[in-house]
Structure 1
Amino acid sequence: MTTQHIPDSPDCAGIYRVTPEGDHVAAVTTSSFISVPEVRARLSALLATDARRLVFTVLHTGKATNAEAISDDAVAAGAFHRTRAPEGTVESGLLERIALTLPEDVVLSTTDSIWDLGGDSLLCLELSEAIADMWGVEIDPVDIFRAKSMAQLADDIEAER
């Protein structure tokens, strides 16, 4: 497995490899807090690849950025972020609404959670109100925070409609 260093960036560093299918598997550390969608956007630009071709993990202090961190076994067992485009009107509407609260250059995925977005109780409250306005569905902000992904949240909205 051939690994390469991610090109110089002021806010993230790490390594990556390209799979035979052309996907980029990366392990990065960040120098400041940036959300998962922001990491996805930065990696897409730094590696000159479509964000849908990225599989990555953000490593915390003390974890090594070595070949083992991006091995097939690590990807299969670890908490790697994958990009999935929205399917259907609820997922699309949900991501469009969330995009209004985030920096312009982010790349959102239905696999992102509120935690991945850097979300807090205020975002959950705003999103709860937006969901009520958009679909007439009451979703408690705590349930929004607990949702494992935007896809799961969209499923919860669909189930309440």
Structure 2
Amino acid sequence: MSILVRASALLLASLCLLGSAQAATRVVVFDFELFDTSGEAGPGGPKPEELRRLALISNDLRERLAKAGYDVVDTKPQQAAITDAQPFRNCNSCELEIARALGAQIEIIGLVQKVSNLILNINFQLRDAETGKVLRAGSVDIRNNTDEAWQRGISYLVRNRLLDPPLTGKAAP
């Protein structure tokens, strides 16, 4: 009889573990965009170093979210739709459909506004991909248009706006 009791207890414990295990929240982080109001923008769009910095902070954010326990969704399967829809700041939440097509539960869109070569601000919104409801948002002003300044800015946003206090409910990792 004790073998039956132990086997039942083991089965029950296994079922409890399976029931409590949940898949990580799927998040899509769209590449940050540059909105240049400095008067320095050329006809070809952002400068090469600014494009590189946009990719730098976008990838940094993805890495930080993955380390925090999120399942970061690859955007490549919807790259054509993303390119057609950008800039997202002008598309009236059209990226939500793309986020849903990628299987994301939440999305993050980001914008770097360049006021001058000295003053920039980095902004983000984390939204429910199903409803579009803003779950969290943040902004930080940075000084100097350098890799270091951009990286410090995204680090601050993640630590002090995005993940603190910890996200709960649908947006929890």
TM-score, shorter chain, exceeding 0.5? no
Relative to total residues, which structure has the larger strand share, 1 or 2?
Answer: 2
The answer to which structure, 1 or 2, has the higher relative contact order (CA under 8 A, 6+ apart) is 2
